[in-house]
Structure 1
Amino acid sequence: MTRNMRFASLTASALCALAGLSWLGLSWAARAESSQGTPADASPVFGVTLPPGYRDWPFVSIAHEAGDKQDIRVILGNDIAMQAFKDGTRPFPDGAIIARLAYNYEVSAQNNAVFGREQSFVAGEPTNVQIEIKDSKRFASTGGWGYGQFEEGKANPSEKLANSCFACHNKLPPATDLIFTRYSR
């Protein structure tokens, strides 16, 4: 066998091996998807996943929920959402993503001991993360927004919960583009 033939044979073998690895990768990726073709770690109904790096996104606002929830929430936005919040652009452009991180709302015994009275409240244990993604075509039936709730990094599998997001947001005036949060300057 000549040197060129040996090179061609080795090259063909290497390409076949790479094709096999590529097929295995595709096979693995296919197994990681549910029967509806959405990633296994995605929310039901909308197929929303936790965006990489969302914890490092800029601050939009913070909120306290009283009543049954008793939590404190920080709202973050990706670059597209932040620009829309700052400019007052409504509706939000496609690609805007808003993350809402919720924590138990707790009295700070340590801080209150220093202050001499109960006045300090802090974020306690995390309860969940909610993600809203704007895609006016994909989520046309829900005002252009797709929703997901995650606990301990995993999508909550409840379809009822996922559908309740739009039901609540849809009560807002159209001028808000179905978003509760206002940008805190």
Structure 2
Amino acid sequence: MVRVFALLSALGLLFWGLGQTGGTVAYPQGYRTWTHVKSMIVEKGHPLYELVGGLHHIYANEKAMQGYRANPRVFPEGSVIVFDLLEPVVGNHAVVEGERKAVIVMEKDSRRFARTGNWGYALFPGNSRTPANIDVNSCYECHKGAANTDFVFSVYRP
């Protein structure tokens, strides 16, 4: 629990700032029933470990799935992608889900989020439905590295 709090504190300090410009991103109710895009584990040694180390599950609503399937990859308005970040628990020769560290959300809306590549960002710490105050410009700066895939890093694994 202390590690989760420390991670969330670090995330808050890293992203704290102006908050969402142009609107807010809501908590994605029922996202675990959406399409599962992929899972991965970010371990120590990865450049983003301190920020998002752990077990990741990525989910997409139907509009986002249209973007994942498109070539070139362009996501339509209303796309929502959820990054469910959990503490990995290793034992008995298995890795299983531990406590939730955060739910991180991207929502595409060119009217509300034009200044950040048409995507809004939110971070919901732990099991909270209340978003943390984040500097979405930091999110956008990182996601610029995926500008050729509409600012989305993940690839759908059918």
* Interval containing the TM-score (normalised by the shorter chain): 0.7 to 0.9
1:168 is displaced (CA, Å) by 1.2
1:178 aligns with 2:155: no
Per-residue CA distance 1:82-124 (angstroms, 9 max, x = gap)? 1221234532111111011010122123xx2xxxxxxx22221
Tell me if structure 1 keeps the 8 A contact 2:72–2:149: no
Tell me if structure 2 keeps the 8 A contact 1:101–1:129: yes
1:63 aligns with 2:40: yes
Secondary structure, in 3 states, of the residue corresponding to 2:56?
strand
Aligned AA (1:52)? Q
Q: Could you state the TM-score of these two structures normalised by the residue count of structure 2?
A: 0.74
Provide the C-alpha distance between the structure 1 equivalents of 2:105 and 2:113, rounded to a whole number of angstroms.
Answer: 14
1:143 aligns with 2:117: yes
- Percent identical residues: 33
Alignment-derived partner of residue 155 in structure 1: 130
1:54 is displaced (CA, Å) by 1.5
Secondary structure, in 3 states, of the residue corresponding to 1:126?
strand
Q: Which structure is higher in helix share?
A: 1
The correspondence for 2:59, drawn from 76, 94, 101, is 76
Provide the C-alpha distance between the structure 1 equivalents of 2:155 and 2:72, rounded to a whole number of angstroms.
Answer: 12
Pick the structure with greater CA Rg: 1
Equivalent pairs, count: 131
Aligned AA (2:75)? F
Aligned AA (2:83)? R
Q: Could you state the TM-score of these two structures normalised by the residue count of structure 1?
A: 0.64
Tell me if structure 2 keeps the 8 A contact 1:103–1:126: yes
Q: Using CA pairs below 8 Å that are at least 6 residues apart, which structure has the higher relative contact order? A: 2
Aligned AA (1:77)? A
Q: Which runs of 5+ in 1 are unaligned?
A: 1-43, 113-119
Tell me if structure 1 keeps the 8 A contact 2:43–2:53: yes
1:127 aligns with 2:89: no
* 1:89–1:81 Cα change, 3 Å: farther
Secondary structure, in 3 states, of the residue corresponding to 1:165?
helix
Secondary structure, in 3 states, of the residue corresponding to 1:178?
coil
Provide the C-alpha distance between the structure 2 equivalents of 1:102 and 1:60, rounded to a whole number of angstroms.
Answer: 14
Runs of 4+ displaced beyond 3 Å: none
